[in-house]
Amino acid sequence: MRFLAFLIRRLIGIAAVMIGVSVITFAISHVIPADPAVAALGDHATDEQIAAFRAEYKLDRPLPEQYLTYVNDLLHGDLGRSIRTRRSVADDLADSFPATFELSFTALLVSIVVGIPAGIWSAISRGRLPDVVVRVLALAGGSIPVFWLGLIVIGLGYYQLGWFPGGGRIDAFVAPPPLRTGLYVVDSLVAGDVEALRSSLIHLVLPALTLGYFSTAVITRMTRSSMLEVLGQDYMRTAEAKGLRERTVVLRHGLRNALIPTVTIIGLTFGSLLSGAVLTETIFSWPGLGRYATASAVSLDFPAVLGVTLLAAVVYPVANLVVDVAYYWLDPRIQRG
Amino acid sequence: MSRHRSPILLVIALFIAAACSSATPTGGGSGAPQASGAAGTLVYYADVSDLISLDPAVAYEFSGVLLVHNAYETLVRFEGSDLSTIKAGLATSWEPKDAGSTWDITFKLKSGVKFTSGNPLTADDVVYSLQRVIKLNKSPAFLFTDIAGLKPESIKATDGSTVVVSMPKTSSPQGFLSILTFTVGGIVDSKEVKSHETSGDSGSGWLLDHSAGSGPYVIDHWTKNAEVLLKANPNYGGTKPPLSGVLVKHVPESTNQQFALEKGDADVARNLGPQQISAVQGKQGIATTQGNSLLLVYVGMNATVKPLDNVNVREALRTAIDYDGIIKELLKGNAKKVQNIVPAGLAGYNDATPFQADVNKAKSLLQQAGQTSVNLELLVPTGQAPGGVAWADLAAKLQADWAKIGVTVTIKQTAQADLLTSYRAQKGQLVMILWGPDFPDPDANVGPFTDYAAKSIAYRNGWDDKTIAQKGRDAALITDTSKRAAAYKDITEYVLHNGPYAILYQPTELFGLRSNVKGFAWNPMGWLDFAAITK
């Protein structure tokens, strides 16, 4: 029951965040000096065409009225129509979000699988060579610009070695699996399409490594520092004194406690992976949300920008919610308290 | 609890292992992951983020036009990269006749043409297609309604193979024929399109990513933000295209395009900058080529702002610019020196280039105007200008050139949409921007650049010269080509020294190709005939 109450409180919070975000985004996007009608129709459009366009998108109405119309449509499940693509924003998001989700999720998976062991290793060999190597790599991960890293990765993995494709989600001559979730890996597994599975997995490698490097670095550093803290605790010494193997002490007693701050970071990182995918998506021709957002912002496509912002406004709190649920599982004190 | 964690980690580990093991066989040592179906298919890497629709009545963006051009045929056409001689397309004859109150153009249709569906192409399809453009009223529709002055009832079929189009006397028949060569004049299979109509959309929902034409290629699929695949049309009546397919891959990052070209994964790289072109030049298996564009990069000088209202001040600014330096240094030769308002490649092009960094002459022109020190603001867009140079670098060059004659310019850089909003409202002083004609006819430039009442470029620069505007309108209506050329020479010569423009250059398009790609001829309107290409 307590969990349910907690969940409901969180969901109300998410709704409040969305209202706030929509008001702010709407206000900002409508007070900038450039005219979206001019942006959409360009240099050649006549004044009549611009006026007709403004009327079509209700840009000629007072701002509060525009907002209320927008919210009303939103409550009816209508995110509006994109100025740039002329399609429904919901359809555009449904096309591009799964691609970004698949990429970010894979990047996160890489970060967890690499980052947590690296952090532990670094902590238990504090001051020695492995620690130094891990720390240098983690420092680099936090400071190398994604754009540059992406070009290096593609230059090496695709151009020099030729082990991986240079971009896209799937080989152009392999038919994508029938879309159910929009996640190619999942959909090709469901369809039992080995060729599509192979192609979509291999296409994920370079972009996921590129995108995941930063979060791997963050997770590594967080795991290392919390592990170091835990290693100094009395109960660890007790466990060691009981004659348990080091492996058991570190993994059973240490990791469980060290993971709590790491889980927080993982949740936050997932949100930033989704939004940080913009550059990675551009370099790797990945047809995701980041590129959609950039293209929409550049062409002053307000309905699309609002749609993306609202989606992000849902994703962040949901990621946090998942983290809180994970706490619940990791730390019995939270369940009781 | 800890017992629960291990299976999860195990699943993750298995997942990663699966990814690695399935990745190795293709990757391992086999060189580039070659697209297995690439033989016989032209792989064209380009940034096609502008793609909105593949419907000929809707497409008006570069990528859409390129694709639509290859899936549909038009009544008349230009061939290869030529834009001056109208040739037969689906029509075998198209003589304009003076019918008293209108111009009537009678199109006789070629017999035996079939659509992809196998349906024969008739006069009804032509009427349906052209009327459909007007009814849908999307981006390119103004070419029919505003420029050619057409209404749905202006287009009639007189028998199964004859179509008559009646135009008001104020519109140019020559201009209309040029418009018909453009994708908006693509003829659609009316039976097929009608069968896909939903809620009165004239089939535009279906034609968004399908085709129903008679051109050499058919649209196989369009995966949004990823690729468009064209396949050879089995019912095409002309010479069978040598390549069975064309894959246009959306690759926004030009370094990626360069890598793929060098690896042989791409046959054509569309968006390489001048430096990347120099980097790939001379590499084995790679050729580079140029194509013309019809764009003009220019500075508009607002004649309502003092001292730009003085014709000598404007002439001084034009005279002081180092055009050769811009083209050779900034653009690495990637542009043509053009100083008139009609670009090279269109009828009516005037090759006079009298201006080149003459500081003394410019100073004396300023003196004649009674100006010794001038302060002006130059509006410049952000990003890259056509030809591969940053707008900001071009602006800095102009600022330096003008400083030599005592003109101080403050550069204000802003997003293009923002700049256009000011420019359209006559609020700029000096504005640097580009212009491309809407249809391949001199009237598409002369009208906007001379006619204040058209509320286009002349209006934005506050230049209201009624005599030249009338001359422009008259020239558009001349049907005799040599008389028309003479009229345009007269007009461009006048605008060259009296207008409020400094035309800086006409950019060239650069392409990286695999050296086995032959028959690549870029049309300045932004398309190429894939059916002429072999590899």
- Alpha-carbon distance of A253 to A243, in angstroms, equals 13
If one counts every other C-beta atom within 10 angstroms of the C-beta of residue A191, the result is 15
Q: Nearest-CA distance from A198 to chain B in Å?
A: 6
B128-145: pLDDT as tens digits: 999 999 999 888 898 999
The one-letter amino acid at B424 = R
Determine the residue of chain B that is closest to A329 in CA distance.
B1
Determine the residue of chain B that is closest to A331 in CA distance.
B1
Strands (E), B162-212: 162-168
- Using an 8 Å CB-CB cutoff, list chain B residues near A32: 418
Please check whether residue B362 is in contact with residue B316, taking contact to mean a CB–CB distance below 8 angstroms: yes
Q: Nearest-CA distance from A202 to chain B in Å?
A: 5
Judge: A202–B26 Cβ closer than 8 Å, yes or no. Answer: yes
Determine the residue of chain A that is closest to B35 in CA distance.
A173
B142-180: pLDDT as tens digits: 899 988 999 999 999 999 999 999 999 988 888 899 999
Helix (H) or strand (E) holding B402: helix B391-403
How many Å is the Cα radius of gyration of chain B?
Answer: 26
A315-327: pLDDT as tens digits: 877 877 777 777 7
Please check whether residue B251 is in contact with residue B260, taking contact to mean a CB–CB distance below 8 angstroms: yes
Burial of B410 from C-beta contacts in 10 A (0-12 / 13-18 / 19+)? exposed
- Using an 8 Å CB-CB cutoff, list chain A residues near B229: 172
CA distances, B159 to each of A198, B119, B120, B149 (Å): 57, 18, 15, 24
Determine the residue of chain B that is closest to A255 in CA distance.
B2
> What is the arithmetic mean of pLDDT over A308-336?
76
Query: Which of B221-225, B314-318, B516-520 is the least confident region?
Result: B221-225
| pLDDT at position B384 | 85
Domain locations along chain A: 2-75, 89-335
| pLDDT at position B33 | 38
Please check whether residue B302 is in contact with residue B431, taking contact to mean a CB–CB distance below 8 angstroms: yes
Give the one of B260, B417, B455 whose C-beta lies nearest to A35's C-beta: B417
Please check whether residue B149 is in contact with residue B171, taking contact to mean a CB–CB distance below 8 angstroms: yes
Q: Does B34 touch chain A (CB under 8 A)?
A: no
Q: Does A331 touch chain B (CB under 8 A)?
A: no
Domain locations along chain B: 41-260+515-532, 296-509
- Using an 8 Å CB-CB cutoff, list chain A residues near B415: 34, 298
Q: Supply the DSSP symbol for B351.
A: -
- Alpha-carbon distance of B471 to B341, in angstroms, equals 15
Domain formed by B41-260+515-532, architecture = 3-Layer(aba) Sandwich (3.40)
Higher pLDDT, B468 or B7: B468
How do strand B430-435 and strand B335-336 relate by DSSP bridges? unpaired
| pLDDT at position A336 | 53
**3-state SS class at A170:** coil
Q: Does B146 touch chain A (CB under 8 A)?
A: yes
* Band of residue B303 on the pLDDT scale cut at 50, 70, 90: very high
Determine the residue of chain B that is closest to A298 in CA distance.
B415
If one counts every other C-beta atom within 10 angstroms of the C-beta of residue A182, the result is 16
* Secondary structure of B6-40 in HEC code, one letter for each residue: HHHHHHHHHHHHHHHHHHHHHHCCCCCCCCCCCCC
Q: Between A and B, how many residue pairs show a Cβ–Cβ distance under 8 A?
A: 145
Give Cβ neighbours of residue B353 (< 8 Å, ≥ 6 apart): B323, B337, B338, B339
The closest alpha carbon to B485, from B338, B352, B342, belongs to B342
Q: Which CATH class is domain B296-509?
A: alpha beta
Q: Does B384 touch chain A (CB under 8 A)?
A: no
Judge: A39–B417 Cβ closer than 8 Å, yes or no. Answer: yes
Q: Nearest-CA distance from B207 to chain A in Å?
A: 14
> What is the arithmetic mean of pLDDT over A118-129?
88
* Band of residue B192 on the pLDDT scale cut at 50, 70, 90: very high
- Alpha-carbon distance of A236 to A247, in angstroms, equals 12
Q: Supply the DSSP symbol for B292.
A: E
Please check whether residue B184 is in contact with residue B143, taking contact to mean a CB–CB distance below 8 angstroms: yes
Please check whether residue B102 is in contact with residue B83, taking contact to mean a CB–CB distance below 8 angstroms: no
In chain B the first and final C-alpha atoms are separated, in Å, by 62
Look-up of token digits 């001051």: A127
- Using an 8 Å CB-CB cutoff, list chain B residues near A200: none
**3-state SS class at A173:** coil
CA distances, A12 to each of A264, A271, A309 (Å): 21, 19, 18
In this predicted structure, the answer to whether residue A147 has a pLDDT above a threshold of 60 is yes
CA distances, A331 to each of A13, A225, A231 (Å): 23, 19, 18
Please check whether residue B121 is in contact with residue B187, taking contact to mean a CB–CB distance below 8 angstroms: yes
Whether the ω angle into residue B307 lies within 30 degrees of 0, i.e. cis, is yes
Judge: B263–A47 Cβ closer than 8 Å, yes or no. Answer: no
B50-80: pLDDT as tens digits: 888 999 999 988 899 999 999 999 999 988 7
> What is the arithmetic mean of pLDDT over A253-281?
80
Same fold, B41-260+515-532 and B296-509: no
> What is the arithmetic mean of pLDDT over B359-371?
93
Best A113, A152, A202 residue to mutate vs chain B (most B CBs within 10 Å): A202
Judge: A95–B250 Cβ closer than 8 Å, yes or no. Answer: no
Q: Nearest-CA distance from B359 to chain A in Å?
A: 33
Judge: B23–A197 Cβ closer than 8 Å, yes or no. Answer: no
Region class of B337: left (phi > 0), else alpha (psi between -120 and 50), else beta: beta
Give Cβ neighbours of residue A166 (< 8 Å, ≥ 6 apart): A154, A158, A159, A284, A285, B256, B259, B260, B263, B265
Query: Which of A264-268, B111-115, B227-231, B526-530 is the least confident region?
Result: A264-268
| pLDDT at position A71 | 85
Domain formed by A89-335, architecture = Orthogonal Bundle (1.10)
In this predicted structure, the answer to whether residue A337 has a pLDDT above a threshold of 60 is no
In this predicted structure, the answer to whether residue B207 has a pLDDT above a threshold of 90 is yes
Quickly list H helices, chain A: 2-31, 36-41, 47-56, 63-75, 89-124, 129-143, 146-154, 184-191, 194-231, 234-241, 246-248, 256-283, 289-298, 302-330, 332-336
- Alpha-carbon distance of B200 to B490, in angstroms, equals 48
In this predicted structure, the answer to whether residue B6 has a pLDDT above a threshold of 50 is no
Give the one of B35, B52, B417 whose C-beta lies nearest to A172's C-beta: B35
Tell me the pLDDT of chain B averaged across its residues: 89
A82-104: pLDDT as tens digits: 888 888 899 999 988 999 999 99
Determine the residue of chain B that is closest to A251 in CA distance.
B2
Q: Nearest-CA distance from A233 to chain B in Å?
A: 20
Q: Does A66 touch chain B (CB under 8 A)?
A: no
- Alpha-carbon distance of A3 to B217, in angstroms, equals 60
Give the one of A36, A158, A292 whose C-beta lies nearest to B259's C-beta: A158
The closest alpha carbon to B293, from B331, B344, B327, belongs to B344
> What is the arithmetic mean of pLDDT over A115-139?
89
Judge: B22–A35 Cβ closer than 8 Å, yes or no. Answer: no
